[in-house]
Amino acid sequence: GQLDFTPQITAILGQKPAALMFGGMVDISAVAFVKQAKAFGLFSKMLSVHPSLGMPTNNRGLQKGDVPEGILTGSDYPYPPVDTQMNQAFFKAYKERWHELPDEVSANAYTSIYLIAKTIEKAGKADREALVDALPGMSITHPVMGDILIRPMDHQSTSGWWLGYLTWDDKDNVVGLRDTKYMPGTAYLPTQEELRKIRGK
């Protein structure tokens, strides 16, 4: 909840690091830090990295003039909107229904509801233990992350992450990402053999 980062920013500038990772701040703290750090010229002096500043809920409140170009960051619902048929349909329907732009919470809740409904159908009833048994191995399609599997071996989702550089999306008038690349979760999750070693089996 801290909103005055002047002491931290001046200390960082005094150390002259080659790179800065400020991943511990989200929501209003992240917005406050970005605005203040840009005013101090911090982002023009070093590579800056934040794991999730590209998420709409973490950058809400930043205006075009607040956004420094080139912070390496990511999101599970980036702007400009990912150009898939499913996302274009989701984006249009959400905007028409709620009169606002969707964010990662919107897309993830939408996907979760469909996954729950699909799991209930497979289980044949809306019983908690039946759903727990039915969920492993289930798959669902996310508007921007494509097909996601709930792995039977560890119940982890294979959802991934969009990486890119912070910028301003003039079309939708929101914070966006440029030079985006989707990193599928399957490339980074441990294999079944690795899990056995981790679990000591």
- Per-residue pLDDT reduced to its tens digit, 130-174: 999 999 999 999 999 999 999 999 999 999 999 999 999 999 999
pTM tops 0.85, yes or no = yes
Strands (E), the chain: 19-21, 47-49, 72-75, 139-142, 146-149, 161-169, 174-183
Matching residue, tokens 């329907």: 93
pLDDT tens profile 56-95: 999 999 999 999 988 999 999 999 999 999 999 999 999 9
